[in-house]
Structure 1
């Protein structure tokens, strides 16, 4: 098990108390994705499942969500909190090795997770194989890039997990074959949406 995975397993019990959830801001970010009832969604690096109730509301009873995280303890918290919502599959896996059981997704979401991915180009290409044509890969944070990097700088386990400027990540996505439809890199949020051509 990687030291980073151990780190997240250790802090899983207290994770939800480390930062307040801004319900309004997360709801606005989810609205920007463009999810529709019945969509299938992959929540990559789901953690304790902060995004799950928002996604469930967006995709409705006919929608399906797959929550993937390499930390079994974080994902157990997510299932404990949101398993009752129904039609959510919880999968403990490294996202780079994850293979979905039933078909392609309408959207792959990285909420507060992208900096922790070591090989970002490979991740982008790998996620294309999980997306239907026109499906979206969305990278988002409910705080600024500067805040993300400041938080990570102070933790030994994730000190090198940096969030690059939106334009840089947009260029990576374009190079990986996506069409970038939106970049927001401001003082209070980070949001990039790219579509599989």
Structure 2
């Protein structure tokens, strides 16, 4: 891994053991966000920055037993927590950088990213790499179980104009990377931006 990831790995390594216990009620929000992606049985989907794999069971339900679910994360401790939780039964776990995926062009039908954008060191390049691995017409869901204002309040900070997840910032960022945003919701109870891979 590059130096760009040192802070991210340290942050999540320190929190991996009790990550799920800190957010015990988020499951239905993950399920609803996955449902809005419009995945179909047999699809191939990546949970980018999967952490402890909380989305993997919901992605498995969406694509069915004939589909393929991948979970990629660069923090070994988070993937170990996913295994302890039994979530490797829902998909294949990959210790890898989502900015350099070991996947062929256009092999994915969709990408799910919970809390992903704020941890990407080069957001435009990294979102472009996700687009490379997704077929034209495939979906990207950028999700967080609370909205931007609620998250800022939880972290004791104020929202600023340079927040990448603000719609005026996120829409052109996605467009530059090959995605067209088709839905944007920033509510107290969730953040969800859905985008489609341009052909």
TM-score (norm 2): 0.86
Offset at residue 182 of structure 1 (A): 1.0
SS of alignment partner, residue 132 of structure 1: strand
Offset at residue 101 of structure 1 (A): 6.3
- Aligned twin of 1:148: 151
**What are the residue-to-residue correspondences of 1:83-102 with 2, within 5 Å?**
83-85=88-90, 88-100=91-103
CA distance in 2, matches of 1:152, 1:104: 37
Q: Does 1:79 align with 2:79?
A: no
- Aligned twin of 2:114: 111
**What are the residue-to-residue correspondences of 1:29-178 with 2, within 5 Å?**
29-80=33-84, 81-85=86-90, 88-100=91-103, 104-152=107-155, 163-178=164-179
Task: Report the aligned-residue RMSD.
Answer: 2.1
TM-score (norm 1): 0.87
Offset at residue 59 of structure 1 (A): 0.7
CA distance in 1, matches of 2:16, 2:173: 31
CA distance in 1, matches of 2:17, 2:164: 25
CA distance in 1, matches of 2:106, 2:123: 23
Gaps spanning 5+ residues in structure 2: where?
Answer: none
CA distance in 2, matches of 1:98, 1:153: 34
Change over 3 Å in CA distance of 1:175–1:84 after alignment to 2: closer
Task: Please say if residues 167 and 183 of structure 1, whose CA atoms lie closer than 8 Å, have aligned partners that are also in contact.
Answer: no
- Aligned twin of 2:22: 18
Deviation by residue 1:95-144 (Cα, 9 ceiling, x = unmatched): 11222269610001111222111211111111111001111121111111
Change over 3 Å in CA distance of 1:59–1:18 after alignment to 2: same
Deviation by residue 1:134-166 (Cα, 9 ceiling, x = unmatched): 111211111111223344557xxxxxx955313
Gaps spanning 5+ residues in structure 1: where?
Answer: 155-160
